[in-house]
Structure 1
Amino acid sequence: MMPAARLQATIEILDGITGEGAGEGAVRPAERVVNDYLRQRRYIGSKDRRAVTALTYDVLRHHARLAWWLQRGRGSAAASRQQLLAYLLLCEHEDPQALNRLFDGSRYAPPPLTTEEAALVERLEEAAREPEQPPAWVANEVPEWIMPRLEAAFGAAAEQEAAALLQEAPVDLRVNTLLGSRADAVAALAEEGIEAAPTPLSPRGLRLGGRRALRATQAFGAGLVELQDEGSQLAALLCDARPGMAVADVCAGGGGKTLALAAEMKGQGRLLAMDAEQARLDRSAIRLKRAGLSEGGGGFVERRAQKNLAAAEDLQGTFDRVLVDAPCSGSGAWRRHPDARWRLTPEALEGYKAAQHDVLRQAAVLVKPGGRLIYVTCSLLPEENQDQVEAFLADAPDFAALPLGEVWAQVLTVPYPGEDPYLTLTPARHGTDGFFVAIFRREEEA
């Protein structure tokens, strides 16, 4: 593809995410739109796919600033062409003559600039010469109502944390120790021309040097490695699931943490993956098989759809470890999904908080005396993290918080990177996605 053709493809994708193609007032998940667009155009080569995807995400990472500039230039932030024009002019510093050459209406190129668009470019260029300081929420690319929450969580470091959420996330892998060691995985990937280095905190992790077609590799196909952020790996390791234990993953979804728990248990004991929706559990079947794990019929891993955990009387008080990877805003993973921050609303956050409240209390009844309840979110917002666990402890006198530093020292050899009693991992401080972990122990029966 010529550079102009890449621009036209980007405009069409952006239109499907936030423009007319998304429907009035809608914002479709970028990953889904990009994948659908490229799947329908398999003639586009891998290099062009990477370039178009990267440009799309770069525009999305500048969403608030572009909208702010377009408003001042009397443009429209909902117009995909105008978003891209503003990005090229203000972020890539293309001059107007270069834009006219790229938007020339030739085959596969964007149509020429209209008189209105040309005037917009002039106004944006003039405004850029006399820059005006945007509000903090615009400069940090977060919704206006989110900025005070980040400031409450991180104080003076809030802007540093917001800036880190704009960076491209690394590609992290978890080595499946049921099938090989980290050294085995490094060697297997090297044979296929992929460089991988150990992650600094997780003893099961590898970090790739750049983006690669991992799913096409032998190491992935054979189940030796799985895609999983280092922070997510650490959350699973902190469950301290051991061979012979009974362990429940009650918000299992696609099974990422279920697979990690299974490896730590070495295929011995009982591992129950639960979710409110059977469809989400079904997505884990292929991953379980690839990882070399048996399922059902006496197999090590069981799957069970269960909307109300408290109604599962046969499970109450039977588990050594219960992991609650709670539904949440996903604010800690905004590096990977920069468009998700603009889909989050105060109403949606209230819904997540209600779900967290319910699932935490329902899951507690599954823990046996002396067992542990592990609460995890991929959120950086206090009301989904500390506020939730403090409210839970007030309601559950038979549970006590375990200092995370003590648990960390029991399962990991690197120094503890957080503060007690809970652990918050962030992109700025630790290079991981944002994660929150709290661990509670149920008191022994008298």
Structure 2
Amino acid sequence: MTPSGRVAAAIALLVELEAQCFAPDARRRPADAVASDFFRARRFIGGGDRRAVSELGWGVVRQRLRLDWHIARIGLVPTPRLLVIAYLLLVERRPRQEAEALFDDTHFGPAALDAVERRAAAALAGRALVDPAMPEGPRLNLPDWVLPGFATRFGARLAEEAAALEGEAPLDLRANLLKTDLAAAAVALAAEGIEAQATPFSPWGLRLPSRRPVTGAKAYRDGLVEVQDEGSQLIALLADARPGMRVADYCAGAAGKTLAMAATMGNRGKITACDTSAVRLEGAGKRLRRAGVDNAERHLLEPGDRWAKRRGGTFDRVLVDAPCTGTGTWRRNPDARLRTRIEDLQELTAVQHDILRRAAELVRPGGRLIYATCSLLPQENEEQMARFLALDARFAPVPFDRLWPALRPGVPAPCEGPWLALSPAAQGTDGFFCAVLERAS
């Protein structure tokens, strides 16, 4: 593809993303699913061109809040074409003449700029992406609705944490203890030219210095390693699922934490992966088989289902990896900061409380309830815990600073305080929260 052809394809991708993800009446599909469909329908776009088109399209998505501000400041409404022009001028810092030349009106290139677009290019050329006149939201590249919660969580470190959320997330792997150990997994990866270093906190974690397509590697196909952020691994560590226990992963999804807990159980005992999505549980089954897990079963939670009532008070560990806003994963999912709204937060906090209440009934006396999110917002984390504990006197916190030395003796704790609270700037992981509660005997 020519450079102008790549620009045209990026504009077409942004048109699809706007229609399906970001417009007020959009279905708000995840952008990676929309992009996958887009490129599947255009198989003529080769690998190098696909990367270039993706980088331009995703670059616009990552900087959309700032680009919108610049475009609004010159009195225009953002369109995919204007967003690309603004990105070329403000982010890539291209000279105006060079950026305008990419709109060359050729067969495969985008139409030439019209008079309004040319005036916009003239107004934007030479400006700084981060303008001193910007309000806090676009300056930090954060939607306004998260600012109060982020300010409560981070205080004076807000700007540092916001900048970290713009960075590229690392690729972390978890060595599958059912088939290997950390050192052997690293050797197996190295034999395929994939160098990895042990993560600082997880006893099973390996971090790649740059993103690599590892799913085609033999070590992955053979189930020696799984893709899992170190923060997610630490939640499984805090669950402290041991051989012989009965464990429920109540919001299992694709079963990442089920896999990790099955490994700490040594395939002994019983773990039940629950979810409301049959599709997710089907995907979980494939991962469980590849990992060699044979102490796990899957259960589809449906309306009117009496499974939980029949098994009330019988589980040693119940993990609630609750549905949340996912603010801690915005490095990986930059579209989520555009798709997610204050109404979603309000709905999710109600859902989280309801799930906690139902999951708590599964915990046996003396057992533990583990609550986790990939959110950085206090409303979904500390405030959710305070609300639950105020209403259910059977449970009491097991402080993180007491748990960590027993689980990782000699390893400095990743954070201080009663809960596990991780963030990209502070620990280099995705943003996670985890609380461990114990039911009175």
SS in 1 for 2:144: coil
Q: Does 1:267 align with 2:264?
A: no
Give the conservation status (yes or no) of the 8 Å contact 1:15–1:22: no
1:44, distance to aligned residue in structure 2 (A): 2.9
Q: Deviations over 1:99-122 (max 9, x none)?
A: 133221334322222222111101
The residue number in structure 1 matching 2:297 is: 302
The residue number in structure 2 matching 1:47 is: 48
Q: Deviations over 1:27-50 (max 9, x none)?
A: 442111121122223343333333
Q: Pick from 341, 364, 370 the counterpart of residue 366 of structure 2.
A: 370
Distance 1:418 1:193 in 2: 34
Distance 1:127 1:415 in 2: 45
Name stretches of at least 5 consecutive residues in structure 2 with no aligned partner.
Answer: none
Distance 1:357 1:311 in 2: 20
1:5, distance to aligned residue in structure 2 (A): 2.5
Distance 1:146 1:242 in 2: 38
In structure 2, relative to structure 1, the CA distance for the partners of 1:67 and 1:417 (3 Å cut) is same
1:384, distance to aligned residue in structure 2 (A): 0.5
SS in 2 for 1:206: strand
Structure 1 window deviating more from structure 2 (316-325 vs 22-31): it is: 22-31
In structure 2, relative to structure 1, the CA distance for the partners of 1:128 and 1:274 (3 Å cut) is closer
SS in 1 for 2:145: coil
The residue number in structure 1 matching 2:236 is: 236
The residue number in structure 1 matching 2:432 is: 435
1:126, distance to aligned residue in structure 2 (A): 6.5
Distance 1:214 1:39 in 2: 21
Amino acid at match of 1:345: R
1:166, distance to aligned residue in structure 2 (A): 1.1
Distance 1:435 1:24 in 2: 29
Amino acid at match of 1:47: G
1:310, distance to aligned residue in structure 2 (A): 7.9
Give the conservation status (yes or no) of the 8 Å contact 1:168–1:335: yes
Distance 1:273 1:361 in 2: 18
1:368, distance to aligned residue in structure 2 (A): 0.9
The residue number in structure 2 matching 1:360 is: 356
Q: Does 1:74 align with 2:69?
A: no
The residue number in structure 2 matching 1:398 is: 394
1:239, distance to aligned residue in structure 2 (A): 0.4
RMSD, matched Cα: 2.0
In structure 2, relative to structure 1, the CA distance for the partners of 1:310 and 1:401 (3 Å cut) is farther
Q: Deviations over 1:254-288 (max 9, x none)?
A: 11111111111111101011112323212211111
Give the conservation status (yes or no) of the 8 Å contact 2:316–2:368: yes
Distance 1:356 1:384 in 2: 8
Q: Pick from 348, 354, 371 the counterpart of residue 344 of structure 2.
A: 348
Question: How high is the sequence identity, in percent, across the aligned residues?
Answer: 47
Matches within 5 A, 1:380-399: 380-399=376-395
Number of aligned positions between the proteins: 438
Amino acid at match of 1:327: P
Distance 1:58 1:126 in 2: 19
Distance 1:164 1:306 in 2: 37
TM-score by length of 2: 0.94
The residue number in structure 2 matching 1:297 is: none
In structure 2, relative to structure 1, the CA distance for the partners of 1:376 and 1:20 (3 Å cut) is closer
Amino acid at match of 2:372: V
In structure 2, relative to structure 1, the CA distance for the partners of 1:22 and 1:151 (3 Å cut) is closer
Distance 2:227 2:171 in 1: 8
The residue number in structure 1 matching 2:200 is: 200
1:90, distance to aligned residue in structure 2 (A): 0.9
Distance 1:269 1:144 in 2: 47
SS in 1 for 2:125: helix
In structure 2, relative to structure 1, the CA distance for the partners of 1:130 and 1:44 (3 Å cut) is closer
Distance 1:213 1:431 in 2: 21
Give the conservation status (yes or no) of the 8 Å contact 1:310–1:363: no
The residue number in structure 1 matching 2:330 is: 334
Distance 1:360 1:98 in 2: 56
Structure 1 window deviating more from structure 2 (13-22 vs 28-37): it is: 13-22
Matches within 5 A, 1:136-147: 136-147=136-147
Give the conservation status (yes or no) of the 8 Å contact 2:20–2:29: no
Q: Deviations over 1:312-353 (max 9, x none)?
A: 222111111110001111111111111101211222111101
The residue number in structure 1 matching 2:423 is: 426
1:53, distance to aligned residue in structure 2 (A): 2.2
Distance 1:402 1:302 in 2: 28
Structure 1 window deviating more from structure 2 (278-287 vs 358-367): it is: 278-287
TM-score by length of 1: 0.93
The residue number in structure 1 matching 2:63 is: 62
Distance 2:296 2:131 in 1: 58
1:61, distance to aligned residue in structure 2 (A): 1.4
In structure 2, relative to structure 1, the CA distance for the partners of 1:94 and 1:197 (3 Å cut) is same
1:51, distance to aligned residue in structure 2 (A): 2.8
Amino acid at match of 2:433: F
SS in 2 for 1:368: strand
Distance 2:260 2:131 in 1: 49
Distance 1:183 1:307 in 2: 42
SS in 2 for 1:146: helix
Give the conservation status (yes or no) of the 8 Å contact 2:89–2:126: no
Matches within 5 A, 1:2-17: 2-17=2-17
Distance 2:356 2:189 in 1: 39
The residue number in structure 1 matching 2:159 is: 159
Q: Pick from 379, 383, 400 the counterpart of residue 375 of structure 2.
A: 379
Give the conservation status (yes or no) of the 8 Å contact 1:16–1:33: yes
The residue number in structure 1 matching 2:288 is: 288
Matches within 5 A, 1:22-171: 25-26=25-26, 27-77=28-78, 79-125=79-125, 131-171=131-171
Give the conservation status (yes or no) of the 8 Å contact 2:90–2:126: no
The residue number in structure 1 matching 2:312 is: 316
